[in-house]
Structure 1
Amino acid sequence: MPNRHHPENPGPELPTLPPRPAVELQRRGELRVEKFLEAATVIFNEKGYQAARLADIVKLAGGSMATLYRAFGDKVGLVHALMERSINQFGRSLDELSSSSLPPHEALEQAAYKMVEEILSPARIACHRVVIAEGMSQPELRDWFQAHGVTTMEILLSRYFAREHDAGRLHIEDPDLAARHFYMLVIGGVILRSVNGRMGADDVPLAQEQARSAVTLFLNGALPRT
């Protein structure tokens, strides 16, 4: 029977997704679109998703409501674009991990540092607050973020662990389970504390030191050595 965890295999399929919000995004590099996304980050973090008004975002960013609607469709489309950009930035750390030739401890530490830095960015905090606070009322956004922002990251981690296991550099019986454990151990607490306002961008050095400790604990365990 083929090993579904082997890096040469495609791995588990993404969950079936509801239709993505119908948006007509302009090119990411266009200044007005970026200003809208930056303003949305500020307003969502200050007021929350429900209380945030598109008029507040337009006032802060400049431009017009018509331009915002043309670029994003509506508030859901704006959040969707914010999530998509954050996921792309977060994914770079795991792309680098996938191609890293460093020993696992060094490679995982580097990936953890970058993961934590993105998790504590204002845009990512805004995304997590929407997903956690509005998940029941906005299931399409919640499920899309889970599939693309969490599940795909766990798949990349699982493939890395399977590769390192096959190479004899790690002993991991279930790469999928190990990926979920690593994800939550390294950044689960950071996500929770950033969403409730106890951590932010200024806390990146502290969070990275905690991530380094989490990587060590993940790799070495807590039992005494003989």
Structure 2
Amino acid sequence: MTYTKIAAAVALAVMASGAQAAAVTGMTLGDTMTLAGVLGTDGYEGTFKFNALSAQNANGASQFKGDVNGGVIDVTAANAWGSFTTGFLFTGAPFVPDTTGPIDIDITGTTMTVNSLPWGGYFTAAAFQFNMPNDAAPTYTLIQTGADTYAYRMKFNHVITATDDPSGTYVDFNAFWILEGTMTTAVPEASTYGMMLAGLGLVGAAVRRRRTVI
């Protein structure tokens, strides 16, 4: 194998090590993007609608904000209703989003992988917890704003089952959600940077040696 090929292989390995998935360690609900999907504010943060939801400004959609505790969503544990938002009125009674366990999301570059999103909400009119995790991978817009910070918008849905709603009132209803805010990922470990620097050093050495031989 020529030194050029060796250098190229090492360079690819270095790039791969720099593109490892980083776990999301922080998350908020907040107004971070416009409807066009660019950084900015437009008054929208969280949106809910049954059976059809194309965008946050959809007619008939219920809006909610991260108006409790700065909109901070704890990704390491369940968030009791009222932890990060006061929610919205549904049929005249408060419906308050919450989570039933840890949120597990990875980011690689600008690719977001949702491993677990135990989303739900407490409906005060029925005094009942509705669990509404994503039935499929959410669609999303993700914009990197710093070394380990991102603005996000994601849309997902969940078809309500009899387990979710023992009363049967909303069984088979398709609940759509749009969430918007910020995410923070874990800072890469020192060993990762060490491997990257070592890889770059090998590339430089290979190139220098090839020049000497020529």
Q: Same fold, TM exceeding 0.5? A: no
TM-score when normalising by structure 1: 0.23
Greater helix share, 1 or 2? 1
**Which protein has the larger Cα radius of gyration, Structure 1 or Structure 2?**
2
If each structure's strand is expressed as a fraction of its own residues, which one has the higher value? 2
